[in-house]
Structure 1
């Protein structure tokens, strides 16, 4: 028997490329499934010189979450009669030809986009990447986390901001009840009785220079070595390991040896697809300029921003959020931060709490539902 609800709502496709990016649309997919809408997840490869995409890893991740999916090379776009598609990355070059914006839009009534990153970076080139890609300028709808982000689209997107909806970011839905999140027992065992600190290192130490990995990694590793009561959870950007190989800093065996050496020093390398384990388990975070600078704010825990003096720096949103954090430029700053973990954080802690609504519209776990409501309106 045909499902009239599915027929009336239209057919929605969600594009999946990276396990780490599934969080951006998880709650949209869950809301669609809860309403028994016709939603299909299409698994695509992620084509990038600094990332080694593995089909079996992507498939295993989707299966582990009981997500029904179809692979791009087994899906007939022309016959699918899609009413809407939801992109999670703006970069056409990372997708197979048929799924690049100009081609895919020929087979779908409406295109939409959830930003893959909570953007904090400055620089004209970065603004071009974040606000002027075809997926962004040509989509029927773009879904953003706040009024301030919509204003950035008004300033930098060639299409303006009429198509930009302030729904809150679906990625944040799963962080509204982080205190109840069940941390992987293996991570808990690895931490033991130590106080865990998350370190988020960017990969861009050869171009935009948001990363401080090449400048401060040794200082960070050494700082934890002399503070055995602390546990370092090292969760680098997914592109960092391959970047080290491409720059001839290490070969494949060298990266493996580096990981072994770090583990031998008691460092926890977190390669889980779901970042909530590290967020929930950690007591504080050290971070380069990245999405985590914004996202970790909702944990209300202390953050140390690693400033690269040679880099493009932070945009206005990034500058605003780091007002609630401490900043480091060298090993002494890092050591001072680590020695203060567990002490009262006073005005900074109060500021983080008060800033959540400013950075995240409707931080209530319902952003995915609001996105879906817009999509249903488009497909009607």
Structure 2
């Protein structure tokens, strides 16, 4: 028997924190998952995991201290904890500490890595030299390759067929140690593109979940401007705002323009054109070797003209990186989906480790 536990993100206001938890809880209920809300609204209290659940095994979902101690270090220091990385592990910053060598990583009973490079990094940079790491592939992307999966068309209905482009900006507007985001540079230009291309292109705005919060605190943005910007994407005839699940969004799209982290690898699974917006010429030094390989099979954009050229290529049905993307998938992705999928590999590993029949 298993349960999902909806836990708080503590760097928001209490009102926002509880609202997000409730939304998460309801979404899991809709998907028929057995879920527990860590917040008890009747008693204005928080669930004590040991007293009220006392699990045998815990899957952790994020290595960073973003929640209360009772749902972070109190768990991984006292229980058998396993971890599937929350992203496809493409980045390199702070000497790999944040993603590979926190107390969290070294305390995990087992980490299920998305690719072979991940294991090599753990071996070199983790205190425990990657002794708890097993390479399984990335389970979060299985639907992209599942031929039996029937995707829902989540795109807004249009009067006629248009090219479907996702714009997915990253949140790192305030992180010089990981300078992915170009949002402040291109935010208004993408609004212009929406109007210019309204007869040929429909757009989905898929921002990183942390971007909105950071913009509200930014000196040149603030809450009012941020809300107006989000409303724009929600309300145009050829746009939509996407802040949740993205499997169906990706599958029914035609292309992606972004500067995000995990999407650098994830979108390659659908094998469609992608433009990565670069914030500086040496951006590859912020990718690990796997991330560099993923980056090399994308189109790159340094200025507005590169975005225009990419869109024009889509209109002309040109896809210059298709062969390179396929080579990347053959080398780095398909081997983990050939005989078994990553989630099955993980389940088998758990059963074998704990001698479960």
Gaps of 5+ in 1: 1-37
State the shift of 1:233 in Å.
1.0
Partner of 2:277: 306
Q: d(CA) in 2 for partners of 1:340 and 1:196?
A: 13
**Correspondence for 1:315 among 288, 295, 309:** 288
1:68 is the counterpart of 2:34: yes
Partner of 2:70: 98
1:201-212 correspondence to structure 2 within 5 Å:
201-207=169-175, 208-212=178-182
Question: Would you say the 8 A contact 1:235–1:270 is kept in 2?
Answer: yes
Can you list the C-alpha shifts for 1:252-276, whole angstroms capped at 9, x where unaligned? 3432222233445445233342111
Gaps of 5+ in 2: 39-45
Q: d(CA) in 1 for partners of 2:132 and 2:30?
A: 35
Partner of 1:56: 22
Question: Would you say the 8 A contact 1:121–1:315 is kept in 2?
Answer: yes
Partner of 1:21: none
1:368 is the counterpart of 2:338: no
Q: d(CA) in 2 for partners of 1:43 and 1:62?
A: 9
Higher helix share: 1
Distance 1:136 1:302, change over 3 A: same
- Length, aligned pairs only: 338
Distance 1:249 1:41, change over 3 A: same
TM-score (norm 1): 0.81
1:116-127 correspondence to structure 2 within 5 Å:
116-124=86-94, 127=96
Larger relative contact order (Cα-Cα within 8 Å, sequence gap ≥ 6): 1
1:160 is paired with a residue whose SS is coil
1:295 is the counterpart of 2:266: yes
Question: Would you say the 8 A contact 2:297–2:325 is kept in 1?
Answer: yes
Question: Would you say the 8 A contact 2:144–2:251 is kept in 1?
Answer: no
State the shift of 1:219 in Å.
2.7
Distance 1:321 1:179, change over 3 A: farther
Partner of 2:8: 45
State the shift of 1:355 in Å.
1.3
Can you list the C-alpha shifts for 1:174-196, whole angstroms capped at 9, x where unaligned? 211278433245x2415852111
Can you list the C-alpha shifts for 1:296-345, whole angstroms capped at 9, x where unaligned? 00111011010001866333222211221110011000000000015455
Distance 1:159 1:338, change over 3 A: same
Q: d(CA) in 1 for partners of 2:197 and 2:320?
A: 26
Distance 1:95 1:260, change over 3 A: closer
Distance 1:354 1:56, change over 3 A: same
Question: Would you say the 8 A contact 1:201–1:213 is kept in 2?
Answer: yes
Q: d(CA) in 2 for partners of 1:171 and 1:238?
A: 17
TM-score (norm 2): 0.86
1:157 is the counterpart of 2:126: yes
Q: d(CA) in 1 for partners of 2:273 and 2:124?
A: 32
Question: Would you say the 8 A contact 2:162–2:201 is kept in 1?
Answer: yes
Partner of 1:112: 82
